[in-house]
Amino acid sequence: MSGHDCEACPVASELAPMGMQVGGVDRVIALAGNPNTGKSTLFNALTGLRQHTGNWPGKTVTRAEGGFAYDKVRYKIVDLPGTYSLLSASQDEEVARDFILFGQPHAVIVVTDASALERNLNLVLQVLEITDRVVVAVNLMDEARRKGLDVDTRSLARDLGVPVIPIVARTGEGLHALLTAVDGVSSGAVQTAPLRVTGTPEFEHAVRELMTHIEAAAPGVPNSRWLAIRLLDGDARVEEALRTGELTRLVSRQQQQDVRFSKQIALQGAQ
């Protein structure tokens, strides 16, 4: 084992209000994707019988989480609801968006369908707007081959700026490469450069102005650009988080955990 327990990590304080305990694991991974991409098949292939299901607090949305170990690192993986976007238009989208944004998992695996890749990339781009720590799993490669489709995952990885791994979750093809990529991204050993869409000069100016206000209201807030874009799009949930001070409290709590975690690491290093 790695000797590190995620219960002392900043992520623990973010996940506790979501009804999730992370004691006994080293890293937390989110599993996102459109419906019918084989996301649950991948979840089952990684966790086997080490999984359980329930509901998200206050929601009727089912939550599945499980565990697995790879290269002596213990992972908790959370299977987020299948969604086509993170725009909070439904409970499923809100749950997935809040977990990635506020839960701040160590990495997000976005599962896509190799035979319908273009449609799936909308969600990929939205996740890339929120976090740098993304691995794209291009599933159902066998179906794509059967249909005569050639998916150039190497070029896709170059264009998206994150690892893109071809897999067949049903047979286990490519899972070792996927876990190696997840290990690299979640540990920080692999640096990503996510593709982020830019708008007109006027739009970018408005985004920068809003980012300034957001960062002043909640110093240290992660993803201020994404929050600014969502405000411009009229996202009521983000507006509420800012107006009520919820976002400020979340950032403050995370920073307190950061200090405690840093002190703990320093003490371990001095021993």
Output the DSSP codes for 205-264.
HHHHHHHHHHHHHSTT-TTHHHHHHHHHTT-HHHHHHHHTSHHHHHHHHHHHHHHHHHHH
**What b/e readout covers 58-82, taking b as 16+ CB neighbours within 10 angstroms?**
eeebebbbbbbebeebbbbbbbbbb
Higher pLDDT, 183 or 216: 183
Rounded CA separation 145/73 (Å): 33
DSSP-derived 3-state class of residue 76: strand
The residue written with tokens 């909308």 in the block is 122
Considering only residues 119 and 220, tell me which one the structure prediction assigns the higher pLDDT: 119
Does residue 106 contact residue 79 with C-beta atoms inside 8 Å?
no
Q: Please count the residues of the chain.
A: 271
- 36 or 62: whose pLDDT is higher? 36
Strands 51-55 and 62-70: antiparallel
Per-residue pLDDT, 267: 42
Domain boundary assignment for the chain = 15-195, 198-270
Asked if residue 208 has pLDDT above 90, the reply is yes
Backbone angles phi, psi at 135, to 5 degrees: -125, 130
Selected residue with higher pLDDT from 142 and 96: 142
The Cα 160–Cα 97 span in angstroms is 20
Question: Does domain 15-195 bear CATH number 3.40.50.300?
Answer: yes
Q: Look at the alpha carbons of 230, 233, 239, 240 in this order and tell me if their dihedral is positive or negative.
A: negative
Predicted local confidence at residue 86, as pLDDT: 82
Tell me the mean pLDDT in the region 114-134: 93
Q: Is the pLDDT of residue 28 over 70?
A: yes
Q: To 10 degrees, what angle do helices 236-243 and 246-270 make?
A: 70
| Average pLDDT of every residue of the chain | 83
Q: Which of 57-66, 118-127, 160-169, 174-183 has the lowest mean pLDDT?
A: 57-66
Q: What is the pLDDT of residue 263?
A: 43
Q: Which residue has the higher pLDDT, 70 or 9?
A: 70
Please compute the mean of the pLDDT values over residues 234-257 and round it to a whole number.
75
Task: Work out the pLDDT band at 102, boundaries 50, 70, 90.
Answer: confident
For residue 239, give both structure tokens.
């507006």
The helices-and-strands tally (H runs, E runs) of the chain is 11, 7
pLDDT at 148 over 80: yes
- For residue 50, what pLDDT band results from cuts at 50, 70 and 90? confident
pLDDT at 9: 56
Report the pLDDT averaged over residues 244-251: 77
Mean pLDDT of 101-115: 91
According to the model, what pLDDT value does residue 269 have?
40
Render pLDDT for 153-163 as a digit per residue (tens, 0 to 9).
999 999 999 99
